[in-house]
Amino acid sequence: MKNIATILTLLVTLMACQNFNSQAQQTGGDAPTSVDAKAFAALIQTKTDGQLVDVRTPGEFQGGYIAGAMNLDFNGSDYGRQVASLDKNKPVLVYCLSGGRSASAAKGMCNAGFKEVIELQGGIMSWNKNGLPLAGANNAATPGMSKSDFDKILIDNPVVLVDFYAPWCAPCKKMKPTLDEIEKEYNGKVKVVRINVDENKALSQELKIEILPTLFIYKGGKHFFQHEGIIEKSELVKQF
């Protein structure tokens, strides 16, 4: 009897695995492709029927975009309608500032039935880091904080906690209350500086900021600690 029960169990397991594999084959290709900046640039050239989509805000888009891109604000009220107007049978190449919104957008497009979706790893930050060109960029009009101004803050304060963020960045919003608490509790001991990457593009690029939020801690003007993404307050204050 034990042998029969064992055989039946194996048969049921085998059938379940076969069913799972069959479903996986039917839904294959539902994950977007993620490529680095240079590969993304090459694909823009080779996929002549591709639809290049910038999912940043209109304000970000006006500050510089990849030539040929259409702006579909991921957090905008018309985003769903705009995506529905794209051709699902043609490739979509999608990007944002650092990769967070484009990853969500790419996954959503795949779930909606788009056959080929390609996402830019690291977004415009990675694109800039690789020295690739932007259309419509006017960085001279809004230079933001200079590197010398940034260095002066580090020299004038014994311990500096720097938060590179963006107003639209959800993880950045989650970190803000923690940073506010630290600023209040360590008043006079730790200088908290929040730098909006949208308004300080040159500095962000020079310091190689690719993920938001990015937190730096400097002691005596020297780089001491770096963390990308959300971090617990207890872990952060250990570094002071």
CA distances, 28 to each of 20, 89, 107, 112 (Å): 12, 15, 13, 13
Q: What is the pLDDT of residue 59?
A: 85
Q: What is the pLDDT of residue 2?
A: 45
Q: pTM for this structure?
A: 0.67
Structural domains present in the chain: 29-129 (3.40.250.10), 147-237 (3.40.30.10)
Active-site residue, from 17, 96, 110, 169: 169
Structure confidence by residue, pLDDT tens digits, 205-237? 889 888 889 999 999 999 999 999 999 999 999
The CA distance from 178 to 160, in Å, is 15
Active site residue 17: no
CB-based contact 160:190 (threshold 8 Å): yes
CA proximity to 220, closest of 161, 162, 163, 154:
154
Structure tokens at 151: 């260095």
Active-site residue, from 17, 96, 110, 172: 172
Structure confidence by residue, pLDDT tens digits, 167-220? 878 899 999 999 999 999 999 999 999 999 888 988 988 898 888 899 999 999
Structure tokens at 104: 């969500």
Active site residue 169: yes
